[in-house]
Structure 1
Amino acid sequence: MATGTSASESRRTRDAEATQRAILDAAIDAFARSGYDGASTRDIARDAGIDPRLITRYFGSKEALFERAVEETYRHPLMMVPGNNRAVAAALLGDAPMEQAKGLLLTIRSAGSERAVEIMRDHLERHYQRDLADALTGPDPGTRAALLIAVCTGVQMQRNVLGNRALRTSDSDLIVDRLAAALDLIGASDAPAPEGGRST
């Protein structure tokens, strides 16, 4: 009897995990397509093939679901590796993995929502900028970390969302070299501090 109960509980756990995954995948697609304000929980539930009440059960709210979608699509471990800038440049100039591409679209199409912008900014600052600043040596690490992230996201957006022809058709090794040099300059420990003083 205990074995049967254990098997039943295991099956329910797997079903719950699959349902949460289906909801999150549908939410990422919806936010990338329509933005935070344009995507409704009813539409997300329909796309996931579930009862809308399950979104509340597993995620609590649309806002919390958006936070999870941001966490899922903003992952970019290469951005957290100071000193490996040629690898970072090569990754940025390659075809973006699907989840990263959706993250860029989610960002663009949710930018009109004040709350969505707060969530995205907070996630970047807490999970990328702060850790990257801690890993950098030399003056003004906070600003340099923010600049590195801005360059990385800007290149990805220009190449993979806007389809900038120069970034897609020029000699790839040359572009990688130049982008890596720019990242090296920003991240260098001997980068000069601004005259106004040091920020953290």
Structure 2
Amino acid sequence: MNKKSKSYIFSKRFLDISVAIFALIVLSPVFLCVSILYLFGENRGPIFYQQTRIGFEHRKFKIYKFRSMVVGADARLTENPELYAKFVANGYKLPTSEDPRITSLGAFLRKTSIDELPQFINILKGDMSIIGPRPVVEKELVEYGDEVDTFLSVRPGAMGLWQASGRSNIQYPERAQLELDYAKNANIWFDFRIIFMTIQAIFKKVGAM
């Protein structure tokens, strides 16, 4: 694992805060529109979905997303052994087209990645960074074996090498290797390269679920 320089850590955090504040201001109309749809539309219920993830140095935090599933989706998943087994076998995800928990609005939010926008709040709080390994739930840490500490040696990110390389098209253990490659080699130029790769992947809809 390479030791991160103080200048890199400072510049990365400064960039995270600056981008998060700018994004939350510019995207405020999107937040307002989605909120109205959840408050008054057919998908009434909580606007945000919160889930406990494992972050930098094993710290737990609540990740924020626009809710894309029915209320009580987590319980519905664990109560269905067949669905849960498929969820685990598919890298702790289900294709949108096969996931009965996802609402019609949620499918649109996921396809356009709008559901991820509230993570700018996590970035501003310091839970996450713009670039880093995707934060996982505790049960996924087993996929990183004896390199869990390396995986958690950097802040998790809204964008990362795994997403830029193919997102849901890439499953464990290849996903773990990509995330570990970033944690071991993180630097400012690597971050900018991942941003460019992620933008390409989004426009090409590579691995979108």
TM-score by length of 2: 0.30
Structure having the higher Rg: 1
In proportion to residue count, which structure has more helix?
A: 1
